[in-house]
Amino acid sequence: MNIPFVKCIFNQHIVKILFSKRWLSDIKTSHYNRKEPNFGVLFDIDGVLTRGRKLLPYTRDAFRKLVTTSGQFRVPTVFVTNAGNELRSSKAAKLSQILGIPVSAEQVIMSHSPLKMYTEFHKKHCLISGQGPIADIAKNLGFTKVTTIEQLCDAFPNLDMVDHKKRRGFHSPFRDYFLPIEAVVLFGEPVRWETCLQLVIDVLMTNGNPSSPIIRPPVSHLPILASNADLLWMAEAALPRFGHGSFMYCLENLYKKISGHPLQYTAIVGKPSEITYYHAEYLISRHAHELGYKQPIKRIYAVGDNPDTDVFGANVYNRYLQTRALSKLKQVVTQTAAVSLTANLSPIFDTNAWNHSNTVELVANDAEHYYSAENIQSILVCTGVYNQEAYDETSSINHGHRDMIMDPELKKPKYTVEHVLDAVKLVYEIEQFH
């Protein structure tokens, strides 16, 4: 055999082996050097991704940046909406369809989602108001005994007297078996406001027995849970539309005018309440875990179109996060001081082991892993409620709910961009994530 030929073949094999090793090394390097995000993004839906049923421009482009070619999210993402007229699973299915990527129900927070935590009301007989499958929504949240406004109208047909055509001259046989209402749950703006306002006030004024005459207005009324206090929201129309906050405003003023006492809420959930963002922080961290990321989430970006809801809520929660961080620091200092004191008093005690185990317990348990954010930054887009020219004229008007102290400084976003694609680009630029 020709010796140079053998050398040539041998050298070719060496080159192939070296190339293969280098190729594998490049793959490993690119895999291990892939930046794992320690941040997440919260998206409002109406006015940010959609206007009513219409998908806004740049929405699909924005989400192409957020997912891989196979449709898997690259960045932990949660959708936080103040809509309350459908189940989370239904909203997730709609998002999957319009965005062209799989969105799970665990990535969606509806305005009513935090009501799942109010277990003390789940076994009470609740009057529920709103539209859509509200009985199913209530049961999905844990409520076991619910009556809708329509069912109350059927039981007490003489109560709904605004529409003359619907007036009936007889009593329902069900009224004698009707159990008293124990709480009221307002899921969202109803279709027929006049009926809903009348019957909710009837129930409050009679302490849950709408067939009884009013002897005197109650000083304290039945518990009221409400979700979504948005005064306005953005649909297909060029102008903002009345939100559930507008209905609540009517209810509060009518009740005070009739009873002489202010209407009091047991809880108001949905943006901008802190409990909604607390829930969102947990879901962001859980989504990161599901994506296989090990790093805890340190920063959250909240993209919205409403300064009174999205921006205010994110900024209020950011203040809470600063307080929480300071509290954790004080706790660590206290624990460290306790270790030092124990070390001085008892040199036999293994202080290093005690310090290590307690530090791990303090900062690495499940709660700490899921609630690890250090800050949340608000990003305002100009495709929904917010309009620069109109806002300059009306920024001093408080569109927030009566029970919320609206610090004007907290309505100012950290960043303002034109649309959702610019918001995603901004986040990537800040995080140096590509």
Residue 267 parent element (H or E): strand 267-269
CB of 135 closer than 8 Å to CB of 128: yes
Q: What is the pLDDT of residue 138?
A: 98
How confident is the model over 113-121, as a mean pLDDT?
95
Q: Is pLDDT above 70 for 119?
A: yes
CA distances from 228 to 35, 188, 349 (A): 37, 7, 54
How confident is the model over 45-67, as a mean pLDDT?
95
Average pLDDT across the chain, whole number: 84
Instruction: Reply yes or no on domain 39-110+272-334+372-388+401-431 having CATH 3.40.50.1000.
Output: yes
State the pLDDT confidence band at 170, using cuts at 50, 70 and 90. Answer: low
Judged by average pLDDT, the poorest of 24-28, 183-187, 363-367 is: 24-28
Query: CA nearest 297: which of 68, 102, 77, 63?
Result: 77
Cis peptide before 347 (omega within 30 of 0): no
Which has the higher per-residue pLDDT, 225 or 167?
Answer: 225
State the pLDDT confidence band at 160, using cuts at 50, 70 and 90. Answer: confident
Amino acid at 332: V
CATH number of 115-268: 3.40.50.1000
Judged by average pLDDT, the poorest of 8-12, 109-113, 194-198, 395-399 is: 8-12
Q: How far apart are CA 243 and CA 187, in angstroms?
A: 12
State the pLDDT confidence band at 34, using cuts at 50, 70 and 90. Answer: low
Residue 250 parent element (H or E): helix 244-259
Phi/psi-derived region of residue 292, left when phi > 0, alpha when psi is between -120 and 50, beta in every other case:
left
CA distances from 337 to 191, 332, 354, 358 (A): 60, 9, 12, 13
- Establish whether domains 39-110+272-334+372-388+401-431 and 115-268 are of one fold: yes
Q: What is the pLDDT of residue 325?
A: 86
Which has the higher per-residue pLDDT, 346 or 59?
Answer: 59
Q: Where do the structural domains in the chain lie, given as residue ranges?
A: 39-110+272-334+372-388+401-431, 115-268
Percent of the chain, pLDDT > 70?
Answer: 79
CA distances from 389 to 231, 240, 285 (A): 19, 15, 37
pLDDT of 383-423, one tens digit each? 999 877 666 656 668 788 888 877 889 999 999 999 999 99
How confident is the model over 123-137, as a mean pLDDT?
97
Q: Is pLDDT above 50 for 22?
A: no
Q: Is pLDDT above 90 for 18?
A: no
Q: What is the pLDDT of residue 397?
A: 80
Q: What is the pLDDT of residue 369?
A: 77
CA distances from 282 to 91, 172, 288, 394 (A): 19, 47, 10, 35
pLDDT of 322-353, one tens digit each? 999 888 766 665 655 444 444 444 333 232 33
Q: What is the pLDDT of residue 174?
A: 62
**DSSP 8-state code for residue 232:** E
Q: How far apart are CA 122 and CA 137, in angstroms?
A: 12
State the pLDDT confidence band at 10, using cuts at 50, 70 and 90. Answer: very low
Q: What are residue 42's phi and psi, to 5 degrees?
A: -105, 130
Judged by average pLDDT, the poorest of 110-119, 207-216, 260-269 is: 207-216
